[in-house]
Structures are given as structure tokens and as C-alpha cells.
Chain A
């Protein structure tokens, strides 16, 4: 097992959430530009992350950056763009 630290960074205030199968999800209490969460997962087969950023649709094109770190080392860094609700899945690479 290993602790996976997740950092969501939004280009504008948005309701942020990250979900992992079979674990309580982490969500911002209101519009925010960042959200940190930590999940303990099987290091041999880490679960996928479902990430969500609900921006103000009037705000035009917005970006969500998702960084995944293990023991301080970045193992995945991805960005998603869209208007309004930006949602996608981040697959964490196997070690």
C-alpha cells in the first residue's frame, strides 16, 4: 500500500472533487482554486481518479490541473480544459 497525494488546481474558482473507487471522495466546501487529498491504495494496482471541477459556465474556457505524488515525487501530471463542468479520469501509472 502507498499514500497517493492528489493536488487539483483550477484556473478559476470552481467546486472541486476527486473520487476513488470504494473510498470517501474529497470535495471542496465551495468554489476554490485548489484541493488537496490523500488516498491510500494498492501500490501494485492503484485505482483510477475521477476528477471534477464545476466552473461558472459564464467564465468561458477553464483549466483543471491534476498532480499525483507519492512520497513527494510527481508520478502523474495532467490538465483538462472545458466550460462549465470539467470532468475526466486520471489513470495512475503502475510502478
Chain B
């Protein structure tokens, strides 16, 4: 009846209290699914402890050929927010939309708040057009421009604040801190690249993913493939690229973290340009490149070291 609770019973009550509290914290978190490794990182930065970020597309996966599995669709359906790069990067996104509406999942598309860049295919008429992109297509790799990432961080802050108004102060403080760090990163990038003579600012890569970086930092870009890793390089395009590399005396060409660098190795053999290292083009990687800041620093360091 109303007697004192025994010590063992007390422990059981405390144990269940913790379980209940744990469930409450779990249920209280904003559940965010991400099709973008970069946006997942931004979401973790902005959301802090209030947000649970589930990476649907993980680092090291080629996002150009990824298709959501039934399990991925279930995970997305259980989320409150879905993050996507947009600008055509996720070719399957329109197929997901009816499911998102049905389940009340809010879609946040990074590409909606950036100034899109038109893709310029190297060797335009030379490559195989059995792929899905068309010339004049938009380059979806917006995260290689830091101002774009700042805009998307703000977009994510606003989306989180709308979905979880109690967390507004947290989201605003975290986003402010992140934007200050991105501004510092931008200055770091400028200072590193200032050591490169302008004549050396030529990027030769597997596919056209670094267009935004090139525009921001005064680089010319030449690629084996087009804007997608599924674009097929033609022998004519490769031949033209080899001639360009020789005539411009390009010091180094770059592979990407999720691609087979065999074609690039062939080009280095024929041109004498060295393989400058591996760049993270389609999203984050592992180790130091597991965060956006780390990925940018890794890419810039590799570029400067190879081209100086």
C-alpha cells in the first residue's frame, strides 16, 4: 500500500525512468535523412544534439549511379526532413516526391538557394551522348563554392527552425558559428591558392565536378568526362585533351576518390604530366575529408602541392 519503496524497487524505478527519458530524447530529436554527404555534415553542424542525421548516400558511394533501395525509402518516410543536392544531381528525386508528400517529409534542396552554373563539357562534340545530361545542363556540384555552402547552411537553419521552433536559438547559434568558420575557410583557400601562379591554374580531372571551384578561384577546367561520372569519354575527346595538356604544359592531372583512374593514368603516360593526387569531387570522403571543411582543405592542399 502506501509504505516506503524498497531499495531494489527504487533501483528498478530509476532504471525505467532513464529508459523513459532516453525514449523521450530520441522522440524529441528532429529526424533528418540526407541524400548528400555535404548536406549531412552541414545538418550535423547546424542541428547539434537536437537533430538525428541519417546518411542515405554515404561517403565513397558514387552518387551519380546510386538508386534508393526499398529500405532507404522506408528510412526516408520515417524522417521529418529530407536533404538533397538538387540541380539534377539525384536523378531519382522526382520519383521520391509522392512518397515524401504522403508521409509529410519536408524536402530541402540545396540547389534551390545557389546561383546555378552552366556545365561546359570539355571536347563538347567529342563524347558519347548515350548518357542523360545535355549540353547546357546545370552543374549540380554547388558545394565546391564556399558562398553556396553558406547559403545552404542558412537554408538548413531555417528548415530546422520551422520543423522544431523550440530549437531556434540552438540552430541560429550553430549556423552563425558555422558561417564564421566557412568565412575563415574561404580566406584560407584564397591564401593557399595565392601561392599558385595564374598560368598554373588549370585543373584536369575525370569528370566535370569542380566548375564552381574553378569560377571562384580563377581556374580553367578540362575533363575526360562530362558533368556526370556516367558520361562516356570518347577516344577523340581523350586525344584532344592530351594535345591540350601538352600545349599548355599542364603539370598535373587529378583523379577522384570514387573513380577508376585508368584513363587518367593513360593520359599521364602520354603527356608526361604527373598524377597530382585524388580529389573529393562528388561529396565527402573518409579520414580528414569526412567533413566539409576537411574535404575542402584536402582538395586545396592536393591542388596546390601538385601545381605549384
Task: List the interface of chain A (C-beta within 8 A of B).
Answer: 19, 21-22, 45, 47-50, 87-89
Contact = CB atoms under 8 A, between A and B. Distances in A.
A87 B12 CA distance: 60
Contacts of B195: 19, 21, 50
B191 A45 contact: no
B21 interface: no
B191 A22 contact: no
A89 to B, nearest CB: 4
Contact of A47 (B187, B191, B198, B308): B198
Contacts of B197: 21-22, 47
Contacts of B187: 87-89
Contacts of A48: 190, 193-194, 198
A45 B199 contact: yes
A41 to B, nearest CB: 9
B198 A50 contact: no
15 contacts: A19-B194, A19-B195, A21-B197, A21-B198, A47-B194, A47-B198, A48-B193, A48-B194, A48-B198, A50-B191, A50-B195, A88-B187, A88-B190, A89-B187, A89-B194
Nearest to B188: A87
A19 B199 CA distance: 17
B20 to A, nearest CB: 49
Contacts of B198: 21, 45, 47-48
A39 to B, nearest CB: 12
A3 to B, nearest CB: 18
Q: Say what secondary structure dominates the interface of chain B.
A: helix
Contacts of A47: 194, 197-198
A89 B196 contact: no
Contacts of A87: 187, 191
Contacts of B199: 45
Given A21-B197, A48-B193, A89-B191, 8 more contacts: A19-B194, A45-B198, A45-B199, A48-B190, A50-B191, A50-B194, A50-B195, A88-B191
Contacts of B191: 50, 87-89
Interface in B287-308: 308
A25 to B, nearest CB: 10
Interface in B140-164: none
A47 B196 CA distance: 9
Contacts of B193: 48, 89
Interface string B154-198: 000000000000000000000000000000000100110111111
Per CB-CB distance, the 8 closest pairs between chain A and chain B, nearest first, are: A89-B190, A50-B194, A21-B197, A48-B194, A89-B194, A45-B198, A22-B197, A21-B195
A89 B110 CA distance: 29
In the complex, which of the residues A21, A45, A47, A89 has the most CB atoms of chain B within 10 Å of its own CB atom?
Answer: A21
B43 to A, nearest CB: 30
Nearest to A20: B194
B184 to A, nearest CB: 11
A45 B196 CA distance: 13
